[in-house]
Each structure stands twice: as structure tokens, then as C-alpha cells.
Amino acid sequence: MEIIIQPDSHEASRLAAKIVAGLVKEKPHAVLGFATGQTPIELYRHLVEMHRKERLDFSEVTAFNLDEYVGLEPGHPASYHSYMNEHLFNLINIRKDRVNIPFGLTDDIPTCCRSYEDRIHAAGGIDIQILGIGTDGHLGFNEPSSSLASRTRIKTLTAQTRKDNAAAFGGMDKVPHHVITMGLGTIMDCRTCLLLAFGPKKTRAVAQAVEGPLTAMVPASILQMHPRAIFLLDEESAAELQRAYYYRWVYDNKPAWQKY
């Protein structure tokens, strides 16, 4: 794991965008994995700005999203289809036939999930998967106790996760109980995992994921086993890391060829 602590979420988001843009420039047909929620919004804003001002080209990029709510129309304002269109896809030149988001209205969820895995495989695998982390350490919608080898499937949300997402629905009673999500095994297949975490609410989850034991009770801790997992943190989310000084020293003393 590479732990990068930035002064604030703005600097961390800017660096995340630089990493993603660097891959797209180097590999125009890159396969990118996207996440939703509040955390990656500024990252997406930077990518849109790079597209507009620097002509960052997404025309050959293929996109896969982590998850979607079961039972929501793609056009529902709280759906992740709507979120991605609002914050990224409608603002860049990505081709719609290269965008993949789980379909929450499917009549056959198991077949839909297998098809999603097949599409990822057919695309050559995901080059960079953008991730957030839940306050309880969940990754995607892989709640605590999820199998560390799981694949794309239906999951039942915990009360805490539904509470955390209630604002988008106008109340917890309106939040769906089920989602389709990439599994932890699917995420671990990605060549690079880029996890962003900001603010004091994420402090404990970050410390457990980075320095705690590898356990299904903190699903994000599986990234300790990933060959290239990058945690981009602000000072608040990194506040409980026991080796924060070392992580800063490592980042500041990278050889030139390793710098972003």
C-alpha cells in the first residue's frame, strides 16, 4: 500500500486527477473504474477541466462503475447513472457505448451480475479503480462480513450505510435496501486501486484499513494484499495512523521516476 497524506481534500483530489489523467494519456484505451458519493466529486471536476482546457481525450476509454441501487430507474436523481452523467460522463467525450453501470431494474440479478463480470473480463480488466471508504470500512457496497473473494452480486445495505446515504433520497425511509456491487475479489483484480478518504468521519475506518488486521469486518483492509493500492488522504482522515510520519517521509523522498 502507498499512503499519501495531503494537506486537504483539494490537494488530494488534484493529485488523484493527475494520476488518472496520466494513465489516460499513456493508454488512451484505458479501462477506468468509477465510484460515487461526495468524496470523488472534486476529482471528477478536475478531470472535466482537463478535458476542456488540456483536451484530455476520453473517446477510447471504457468505464465501469462500482455499484447501483436495486429498483431505481437510471433516470432517478439518486441513481448512480444520474450521478455519473451529472458529474462526469455528460461533461467529457466518453462514448456512451463504453459506459457500464449495473442495471438496478433487471429481472434476473444473478445473470446481470455474471454479465457484468464478463464485460470487465472482455474489456481486458480495470486499469484504475477509484474507491471511497465507508465509515464502517466498507468498500463499494461490500458491507462488513462480506467475503474477501466475492464477485459482483446483490448486497443488503446496513442501517448505517442507508443512514449515510439518506440525504440523496430525502430521508432514510426512501433509501433502497439492496444494491448490485462489484465484489472484493473483483476490486482486487484491478491493476491499481486509488482510494480517496477525507474528513474526520473516515479517520477510524482509514486507520483500521491501513494498519489494522486483515479482516472481513473491515472490507477495505483487503487492500493490504493488493500489489498497487494507493490511499490519498487529507490530514483529518489520516489523524489516527500510527506511522503517518513514515508515510510522509516515503512520499517526500520518492525517486524521481516514481513521482506523480
Active site residue 10: no
Helix residue ranges per DSSP H, the chain: 9-26, 41-54, 80-87, 109-122, 159-164, 184-188, 203-211, 244-252
Task: Give the C-alpha separation, 141 to 143, whole Å.
Answer: 6
> Which residue among 42, 68, 127, 143 is the active-site one?
143
Residues 97 and 213: beta-carbon distance below 8 Å: no
Bridge partners of residue 4, in order along the sequence: 232
Active site residue 81: no
> Which residue among 136, 164, 226, 234 is the active-site one?
136
Active site residue 136: yes
Q: Which residues of 24-45 are buried (b: 16+ CB within 10 A; e: fewer)?
A: beeeeebbbbbbbbebbebbbb
Task: Give the C-alpha separation, 103 to 33, whole Å.
Answer: 16
Residue 154 Rama label (left phi>0; alpha psi -120 to 50; beta): beta
> Which residue among 67, 127, 164, 234 is the active-site one?
67
**Which of 157, 179, 194 is CA-nearest to residue 113?**
179
> Which residue among 127, 138, 164, 234 is the active-site one?
138
Task: Give the C-alpha separation, 182 to 185, whole Å.
Answer: 8
Task: Give the C-alpha separation, 35 to 48, whole Å.
Answer: 16
Active site residue 67: yes
Instruction: List, by residue number, the catalytic residues.
Output: 67, 136, 138, 143
